[in-house]
Amino acid sequence: MRTRLNSYTGYSIGCASVWGVILLLAQRRLDAPTRNTLGLVCGGWWMGWTSATIARIGYPPPKPLTPAAEKRLRSVSVVLIALGLINVIRLLVTGKATAGERVRRLRS
C-alpha cells in the first residue's frame, strides 16, 4: 500500500511540478513578452511561497477551523483554483496576453 504525501513537502513538490509544466508549455506556445510576464508571475509566486515557508517556521500553527468554516474555505478555494486554471489555459491556448497586458506593454 502506498502512503500519500499529505504534507507541505508534497504540496511543494506538486507546485514545482505544475509550474514546470506551465513554463514548459509557455516556452512552446507564447511570444517572448508574454513568456517574460509569465516568468515574473512565477517568480513572484515562488517569493510568496518562500515567505510563507519561513513564516511556518517562526509562528505557531493556526487554530483548527470549525466544520462550517472548513466547508466555506473549501468552496472558495475550489472557485479560485478553477478561475486561475481557466486563465492559464486561456493564455496558453490563445498564445497571447489579455488586452490590459497589451496596453501596459505599449505604454512602457
pLDDT tens digits along 79-95: 999 998 998 888 888 87
Contact 34, 98 (CB under 8 A): no
pLDDT over threshold 60, residue 2: no
**CA end-to-end distance (rounded Å), the chain:** 56
Task: Using pLDDT thresholds of 50, 70 and 90, give the confidence band for residue 61.
Answer: confident
Task: Using pLDDT thresholds of 50, 70 and 90, give the confidence band for residue 108.
Answer: low
pLDDT over threshold 50, residue 1: no
Contact 39, 23 (CB under 8 A): yes
Burial class (CB in 10 A: 0-12, 13-18, 19+), 58: exposed
The residue with greater pLDDT, 92 or 16, is 16
**Nearest 10 degrees: CA dihedral of 51, 25, 38, 103?**
-160
| pTM for this prediction | 0.61
CA distance 14 to 66: 27
Q: What SS3 state is found at 104?
A: helix
